[in-house]
Amino acid sequence: MFYHVQSLINPIVADEPDPSAANALQEGLGGQFGEMRTMMQYLFQSFNFRGDGVPYLDLIQGVGIEEISHVELISKTISRLLDGAPEYNGKKFETPGAGGKATMDMAKEQQNPHHFIVGAQGSLPVDAAGNPWSGSYVHDHGNLVLNLMDNLVLESTGRLQKCRIYQMSENKTLRATVAFLIVRDEAHQAAFAKALETLGVDWGKILPVPKFDSSKFPEVKRLLDAGIHREQYHFRLDSSMMEKIYSGPSPFNDGTELVTLKEPRESYPIPMAPERPEEFAPGLDAELQEMADALADFKDKMLNPKSPPATKSATKAAPKKKS
Amino acid sequence: MFYHVQSLINPIVADEPDPSAANALQEGLGGQFGEMRTMMQYLFQSFNFRGDGVPYLDLIQGVGIEEISHVELISKTISRLLDGAPEYNGKKFETPGAGGKATMDMAKEQQNPHHFIVGAQGSLPVDAAGNPWSGSYVHDHGNLVLNLMDNLVLESTGRLQKCRIYQMSENKTLRATVAFLIVRDEAHQAAFAKALETLGVDWGKILPVPKFDSSKFPEVKRLLDAGIHREQYHFRLDSSMMEKIYSGPSPFNDGTELVTLKEPRESYPIPMAPERPEEFAPGLDAELQEMADALADFKDKMLNPKSPPATKSATKAAPKKKS
Amino acid sequence: MFYHVQSLINPIVADEPDPSAANALQEGLGGQFGEMRTMMQYLFQSFNFRGDGVPYLDLIQGVGIEEISHVELISKTISRLLDGAPEYNGKKFETPGAGGKATMDMAKEQQNPHHFIVGAQGSLPVDAAGNPWSGSYVHDHGNLVLNLMDNLVLESTGRLQKCRIYQMSENKTLRATVAFLIVRDEAHQAAFAKALETLGVDWGKILPVPKFDSSKFPEVKRLLDAGIHREQYHFRLDSSMMEKIYSGPSPFNDGTELVTLKEPRESYPIPMAPERPEEFAPGLDAELQEMADALADFKDKMLNPKSPPATKSATKAAPKKKS
Amino acid sequence: MFYHVQSLINPIVADEPDPSAANALQEGLGGQFGEMRTMMQYLFQSFNFRGDGVPYLDLIQGVGIEEISHVELISKTISRLLDGAPEYNGKKFETPGAGGKATMDMAKEQQNPHHFIVGAQGSLPVDAAGNPWSGSYVHDHGNLVLNLMDNLVLESTGRLQKCRIYQMSENKTLRATVAFLIVRDEAHQAAFAKALETLGVDWGKILPVPKFDSSKFPEVKRLLDAGIHREQYHFRLDSSMMEKIYSGPSPFNDGTELVTLKEPRESYPIPMAPERPEEFAPGLDAELQEMADALADFKDKMLNPKSPPATKSATKAAPKKKS
Amino acid sequence: MFYHVQSLINPIVADEPDPSAANALQEGLGGQFGEMRTMMQYLFQSFNFRGDGVPYLDLIQGVGIEEISHVELISKTISRLLDGAPEYNGKKFETPGAGGKATMDMAKEQQNPHHFIVGAQGSLPVDAAGNPWSGSYVHDHGNLVLNLMDNLVLESTGRLQKCRIYQMSENKTLRATVAFLIVRDEAHQAAFAKALETLGVDWGKILPVPKFDSSKFPEVKRLLDAGIHREQYHFRLDSSMMEKIYSGPSPFNDGTELVTLKEPRESYPIPMAPERPEEFAPGLDAELQEMADALADFKDKMLNPKSPPATKSATKAAPKKKS
Amino acid sequence: MFYHVQSLINPIVADEPDPSAANALQEGLGGQFGEMRTMMQYLFQSFNFRGDGVPYLDLIQGVGIEEISHVELISKTISRLLDGAPEYNGKKFETPGAGGKATMDMAKEQQNPHHFIVGAQGSLPVDAAGNPWSGSYVHDHGNLVLNLMDNLVLESTGRLQKCRIYQMSENKTLRATVAFLIVRDEAHQAAFAKALETLGVDWGKILPVPKFDSSKFPEVKRLLDAGIHREQYHFRLDSSMMEKIYSGPSPFNDGTELVTLKEPRESYPIPMAPERPEEFAPGLDAELQEMADALADFKDKMLNPKSPPATKSATKAAPKKKS
């Protein structure tokens, strides 16, 4: 059974909209090796798990739970990169197409016009070439060794593709999220490589994939310095045996140590996205808005939100907020 | 950010394996109107939400979080229905195909042979006709009114299809899960219908879809008597404004009242699935098993599990177990 | 612009339900070489037609209009073959699953369970293996010679597959429709072969495909005797130049003559399909039915229907009925 | 059974070619909520209709027949927007690539190069992201209430997406068609909302979706002034009970009245598209053209066409032309 | 550049037709981890290879060339398993459906009716659930380490699935081919594992996947005894550096040695498949057959065939035949 | 059984990188009528061939074998067109994104960003709109006449699309390959047209499609002058009866003669592609490279390659090299 806090696993950093950066990032969300796939692959492997290897189950499932939060993060990053794109470069407009002006003219020239026609400047469950995500991406072989190997290939590809996407844009919104995912994919490579190490494999020096010094990417370096490439979280409200595997020397044979935690040390507020009249989003005209407002005092609560600001620990008896 | 407890939202009831029942149930998991779609549709709508209508956001997202637990439940139900099918009807065998016997002969005649060739008698992200789930199923129109209407159609179709599947098998494992989903889909119809009611719609007597007395299905009746068709859970560890919408008279105009809770009143243990040697699942031979066992004392923990038995409330400061 | 009469191009012949025959016939509806494809291929070729070769346009478009009526015919045939299948072999039931009986137990063993879970014992836009129809089936090369050749291959494949389906069932409902389509596909082969003959090709003796004496199929023989394998209809309410091509000696070099008509010499009543409570179809409970009935006197009209019985000519000033 | 007149339901307005506008419009043709889907969805619902609710059948089927004419209109609009694009901006050329010049160089930079490689500057059965249309888009739940709700969501999405596309281009060819479709989608929303109103729903003020004053779009305003957003046509050559539903006060509760007609008050000539040598379309060299011309006197008829000029009523006893 | 000999890499063993065994085997041909995928994956990796690691290129490409012969073998095996299925169990017929008999009645009940409707009792490029093969199965990451890991996962899955299929049928035609592929997939696992070993990995005891004694399968044992699970062929007519990698101790750490050869030690005749009149295959009636025969003396050659009987070495200066 | 020489069937001509030209060319590789389809279609038709019409089998299979070499050629051409694109126009960079520079910024604006994110500036099994290749493209009707007609349509479409692509770019790398394929598609049209001619068809003047003087394309003219549009190769190491069909007067009725050869008169060296650090291709860091180098003397062999330079005849007893 699953739970949620309205917090992000990494902050959304502000920058200008950039629709083609948003489209490249779709690969990380809805691509064959993106977060939707990792999430569903690990959940299916967990739900169909056989035998009594609970530490292996808890490892796979724990990573899978994190991936839902990655889907959340990358989805919101794409949405932010698209948000307001028609007004980009100083263009402004107020009402949808009033007087017949083509206020979203730029939209039809973008990599994926669906971002503007189908979605309302939001993320889509598709890849960077516009192909919808497919259930055939999910591999659950029902064989523990093979699943671990497949997962290692998956995380390796994830990190490889994100390292390529990193080099495609200097947009800070994109970079903050991509850098975080590069680091987490390295932690997840460590998870599955370590699990195979417990069964006798010695990886030598081939990991992580790609093999290069990612601290050359400044946004990545800050995260490496904080050590989050060697942490794994289990996100379990009851308890987890993940640490039986995810601890001790890194399987990359580089002298580092793996650490299992319940959850990330920090979590971050979720920015509210503004209405976009040119997209008819959210679509409430004055009359309907009035009715929505009449949901008693909810606006009050908006002004005194209890929704989470940046928190140190997203959960506990009472989920603890960052002070 | 998402969390997990190793408990189910409804119990798995024991019965004989039934591969064709398992296949029919795949529609509820990976079908165009199944739980994978509801889960992803509501999460995308939440992550891309625009404007300050927080109660609407919390309603959509809260239902979405529940759907992840439905994916978990239905996946495990399918797995259970398939588990051991080749040995069904008194057939027994010990080692995979020893001496060349076709111990899984029945598998190639099943509705979806992938259950035995690709998976290891486990669930797949496909529908009852074997088509893989597609990202194109996810509708996020970016328009609040339209999203609510679309979600209502989705839940109505979910309940309709499950009422049909109910009539296709008397297997208790299938029935327990299907009956639960029929009831929850009714609760979700109420959620989206009520949200549209706050914007001025009066549904008259057309809901729920399909319009019939589902208490004629005995397994459903027990759940209706417990009132869970009028409850909605927000599954939030911080707080939720869902109740601003999901409370008061049912939008079905039938005199019932809606109730918002943090989580279901009960949760249930997750049964461990046995190894299946004929599927090479999990795939550890004696040598590898020994290494896996050498993960120190984890077998000890297996004998004294802290993993959740049936619990009343799956979470709280410390997730409270059922006593 | 398109018009309709509520008549069929060939009669639905009564027989027992047969779900696997229905599934085989899906190939003729939603298969890669089925009627949905012919319909869309010829319409796209017509809408995108270039140049002043109006007789060629009118030929392609005229066949395309007929194909919509084929989609109608085959869809209704499939629906009829499925209708009531759960009650087949003497089983009877009244209310959906009352008391928990698995009244649609047979449904989950059928070739495509979607016929019972997704549709209500009706046709689907899929092929006999359950794959949804795809826009990629439609070929419009924008080159007249190539389009005509492609269309000839399409009609040849259509006739070939239907000749195979004919041999798969003795069900009269299936046979009546399949036999008609075998004959019409031969007429359409003649259409495109003749068009290529006007550009200089001599087909020798290779046509029609498959090359065999289809009068061995008794249901086909009756239609051949009526000569409808050498007729083509233009279905145009204004006028058509189709006859410039579709007339004179058959391109099969067999001594027969081609004839262009406005429409088939006969049309046939469309049988009403009964409600199916186990499918919640149409889904009106007593309360809703009362409201539907309150649409004034429409029941009256039901009792004195003006909807078409078998008609000789489906259209004219006032569409003439068969006497 | 279906018929055709060689007329359009709305005129094609002349303007410069615009390939990216053409591509955006593909969403309205081959997109998940485009005209191919509405057409096939309503036809399947009609062909599989159960029960004696003939007014509901006639409403769904009548709208479905209109959608075929929408496919025709939008297909021809896209074709027109692409037609001659390689020569755009003053470039001219005569023979395909003579001397090796890259006369279609611009084509490979377009949103969907298939418009030039696969088609001959014509429409395709794909969406704005290049995905082929899929049979899985078609929803026929076999439950009347649910089908009506699904159809309402479909028309709402259609209007929403077209309002977005409207804002993406000032091209007059695109705008004329899009404006017409915005208005017709509103009429179709009224159709399905009204049908649900007969079963007891009161829509309050949430319709149409999107909720905004579309008369701000000048091309739309002209059509609203003509009242065609409150008309529905049945396109039946025999007779229809559509009016039992589509009449009386609009379900949008805005004081307007619905009107059922046999067909639109006007229809419009279909422009002939020129040959495009760089696409080898239609592909007849001099020798073949001579043979085509030898189809006797058909060129004569070309000079004295009986094909329809703008007509008031496209059909009648003898389809009446506008005088 | 590619060449061919009309010989098979493993013999087709005779047994009764078995359509459901044929369908299970489709997974090995057109499945996500089947031979079409291995073939295309290795060819794409070879054609896009970067850098000067020629031994790695020659290894990947060499395995890829073998996979084309596997596609040939498995395709012919499926075809053989289907061949004559309608006549199975003593049924006989001579002319297609003469007198209207449903001579292919069994066909519509089979796992994939396409084997009889679309193909003529031949193999299809689809998997065991009827899904067409997809280009998205092909992984070429452009990173050598990752490609080798991906290929290892691919071969492991191939062997796992074939071990499962082995247990699904005792049909000798199926078993001969499946046993051969189990053994070859083990050789290919060795190929990619060894390549990673040259880069520093020690696989311990986890390979091959699945980890079990496949000599328990009698048909497999014969091939293991012949040692072909430790051979790899380069199939190059010029020369290859494959042996730089594929030699020395097996990476499975089991004391065996790897051997590189030009080609298999034996090759086998390709059986001719008979005509099937009920499928209109090949489709030549008497008149056309006469023309085909008039291709001079080719029948003569049929009687004195130079087409290859079982050969020891399929190629050499002059391809040497087995004596 | 299949063999390979490391030579190309046509040379790769050097020119600047051009990613959009590469993308257009993808249609010829992974498009519905591209080389992957021709290859798989002819191989499936060969493997499933029925009856004793060996010359027809040898013709279809022989063309199929050539198509594998076309896949190789076009794949390498696309790779070459992409290679180094991020450095195009004078931009230079050394290490991947060092210091956070967006060195692949151009990549996200390209037609298919997958060329840079998923592949490493290499070809993909997709079409020019980014859709993955599908097994449903492969047509094997199991009827000889129909297969020949389908193949003729396929080759005609291939030539048509390549003639259009030719006009889209003056890039010499693209043109050399496209011109070759135009000419070979004409030879293949001749193959299937001639086979149908042996069964009695007279094609008059409609072939080849498209009907135009392709010698106006200078790169094509050179190949026509060499006569390779009237040659067909059987690529068989044993023997072939292809010549029984592919000889004598061209079926285009233009006075030319067809010639069957074992293989092309010349073959060409395969250029090695450089590493691309920004893509982490091949992905060996210094440490791994050292291990790879330690594969004994393979670098030596690199300096004294025995891999084929341009050869006259790629094979023979001992494959003959060009002198």
- Complex ipTM: 0.93
Can you tell me the distance from the alpha carbon of F237 to that of F5, in angstroms, rounded to the nearest whole number?
13
Under an 8 A CB cutoff, do E99 and C218 touch? Answer: yes
Does residue B152 sit in helix, strand or coil?
helix
pLDDT in tens, A90-141: 566 556 666 778 889 999 999 999 999 999 999 999 999 999 999 999 999 9
Under an 8 A CB cutoff, do D205 and A287 touch? Answer: yes
Which of B21, B167, B219 minimises the CB distance to C278?
B167
Res. F135: pLDDT tops 90: yes
Report yes or no: E29 and E78 within 8 Å, Cβ to Cβ. Answer: yes
**Selected residue of F13, F166, F168 to mutate for chain D interface (largest D Cβ count, 10 A):** F168
Q: Can you give the pLDDT at residue C315?
A: 52
Does residue D232 sit in helix, strand or coil?
strand
How would you classify the pairing of strands E231-233 and D257-261? unpaired
Can you tell me the distance from the alpha carbon of B41 to that of B135, in angstroms, rounded to the nearest whole number?
9
Q: At residue E133, what are phi and psi to the nearest 5 degrees? A: -60, 145
**Selected residue of B41, B127, B141, B189 to mutate for chain D interface (largest D Cβ count, 10 A):** B141
The residue to which tokens 């000029």 are assigned:
D309
User: Average pLDDT of C143-147?
Assistant: 98
Q: At residue D285, what are phi and psi to the nearest 5 degrees? A: -80, 180
* Residue of F171, F145, F141 lying closest to F80 (CA atoms): F171
Burial-class residue D172 by CB neighbours within 10 Å (0-12, 13-18, 19+): middle
Nearest CA in chain C to D235: C3
Can you tell me the distance from the alpha carbon of E192 to that of C240, in angstroms, rounded to the nearest whole number?
65
Instruction: Return all residues near A166 (Cβ < 8 A) that are at least 6 apart.
Output: A175, A178, A179, A182, A217, A219, A220, F97
b/e per residue E33-63 (b: at least 16 CB within 10 A): bbbbbbbbbbbbbbbbbbbbbbbbbbbbbbb
Segment (H or E) for B233: strand B231-233
Q: Can you give the pLDDT at residue F316?
A: 44
* Residue of B74, B103, B80 lying closest to B91 (CA atoms): B103
Inter-axis angle of helices A172-197 and A19-30, nearest 10 = 20
Q: Can you give the pLDDT at residue C103?
A: 86
Q: Can you give the pLDDT at residue A99?
A: 75
pLDDT in tens, C44-53: 999 999 999 9
- The model's confidence at residue B303, banded by pLDDT at 50, 70 and 90, is very low
pLDDT in tens, C256-298: 999 999 999 999 999 999 999 999 999 999 999 999 888 755 5
Q: Can you give the pLDDT at residue A320?
A: 37
- The verdict on whether omega for the bond into residue C208 sits within 30 degrees of 0, i.e. cis, is yes
Report yes or no: A159 and A185 within 8 Å, Cβ to Cβ. Answer: yes
- The model's confidence at residue E87, banded by pLDDT at 50, 70 and 90, is confident
pLDDT in tens, A270-317: 999 999 999 999 999 999 999 998 875 554 554 454 544 444 555 543
Please give the structure tokens belonging to residue E275: 């005509």
The residue to which tokens 């603890």 are assigned:
A320
Mean predicted lDDT score pLDDT of chain F: 91
Q: Which of C:149-188 have CB within 8 Å of D?
A: none
**Could you tell me what percent of chain F has a pLDDT over 90?**
84
Can you tell me the distance from the alpha carbon of E61 to that of E67, in angstroms, rounded to the nearest whole number?
10
DSSP E188: H
Res. F240: pLDDT tops 50: yes
Under an 8 A CB cutoff, do B202 and D205 touch? Answer: no
Q: Can you give the pLDDT at residue B321?
A: 34
Q: Can you give the pLDDT at residue F176?
A: 98
Q: CB distance from B218 to chain C under 8 Å?
A: yes
* Residue of E194, E210, E181 lying closest to E252 (CA atoms): E194
Which of D3, D238, D274 minimises the CB distance to C2?
D3
Under an 8 A CB cutoff, do D150 and B153 touch? Answer: yes
Q: Which residues of F touch D94 (CB under 8 A)?
A: none
Terminal Cα-to-Cα distance of chain B (whole angstroms)? 29
Please give the structure tokens belonging to residue F213: 């003087």
pTM for the predicted model, two decimal places: 0.94
Mean predicted lDDT score pLDDT of chain C: 91
Segment (H or E) for E269: strand E268-269
Can you tell me the distance from the alpha carbon of C228 to that of C218, in angstroms, rounded to the nearest whole number?
15
- The model's confidence at residue C97, banded by pLDDT at 50, 70 and 90, is low
Can you tell me the distance from the alpha carbon of B190 to that of B184, in angstroms, rounded to the nearest whole number?
10
* Residue of D131, D159, D133, D146 lying closest to D56 (CA atoms): D146
Report yes or no: A274 and B50 within 8 Å, Cβ to Cβ. Answer: yes
Low-confidence stretches of chain D (pLDDT beneath 70): 88-98, 296-323
Please give the structure tokens belonging to residue E293: 């025969």
Can you tell me the distance from the alpha carbon of D271 to that of D8, in angstroms, rounded to the nearest whole number?
9
Q: Can you give the pLDDT at residue A152?
A: 98
How would you classify the pairing of strands E248-249 and E7-8? unpaired
Alpha carbon separation from D261 to D133, D241, D242, D243, E205 (Å, rounded): 31, 11, 9, 8, 78
Distance from CA of E80 to the nearest CA of A (A): 29
b/e per residue D56-76 (b: at least 16 CB within 10 A): bbbbbbbbbbbbbbbbbbbbb
* Residue of E36, E24, E20 lying closest to E132 (CA atoms): E36
User: Average pLDDT of E217-236?
Assistant: 97
Nearest CA in chain D to B134: D136
Subunit partners of chain A (3 or more CB pairs within 8 A): B, D, E, F
pLDDT in tens, F77-124: 999 999 998 876 556 655 666 677 888 999 999 999 999 999 999 999
Q: Which residues of D touch A279 (CB under 8 A)?
A: 164
Q: Can you give the pLDDT at residue C308?
A: 45
User: Average pLDDT of E160-175?
Assistant: 97
Under an 8 A CB cutoff, do E129 and B108 touch? Answer: no
Q: Which of C:1-40 have CB within 8 Å of E?
A: 20-21, 23-24, 27, 31-32
Res. C311: pLDDT tops 70: no
b/e per residue E110-133 (b: at least 16 CB within 10 A): bbbbbbbbbbbbbbbbbbbbbbbb
Contacts 24+ apart (CB under 8 A), A313-317: A313/A263, A313/A265, A313/A267, A314/A5, A314/A7, A314/A263, A314/A264, A314/A267, A314/B1, A314/B237, A314/B238, A315/A3, A315/A5, A315/A237, A315/A262, A315/A263, A315/B3, A315/B237, A316/B317, A317/B316, A317/B317, A317/B318
Nearest CA in chain D to C147: D282
User: Average pLDDT of A148-174?
Assistant: 97
User: Average pLDDT of E65-79?
Assistant: 98
**What DSSP assignment string belongs to A250-287?**
-TTSSS-EEEEESS-S-BEE-PPBPPBGGGTBS---HH
Q: Which residues of E touch C175 (CB under 8 A)?
A: 100
User: Average pLDDT of B60-70?
Assistant: 98
Mean predicted lDDT score pLDDT of chain E: 90
Give the lowest-confidence range in C96-105, D61-70, F57-66: C96-105
Terminal Cα-to-Cα distance of chain C (whole angstroms)? 30
Which of A141, A152, A200 minimises the CB distance to E205?
A200
Instruction: Return all residues near C284 (Cβ < 8 A) that are at least 6 apart.
Output: B211, C292, D51, D53, D144, D145, D199
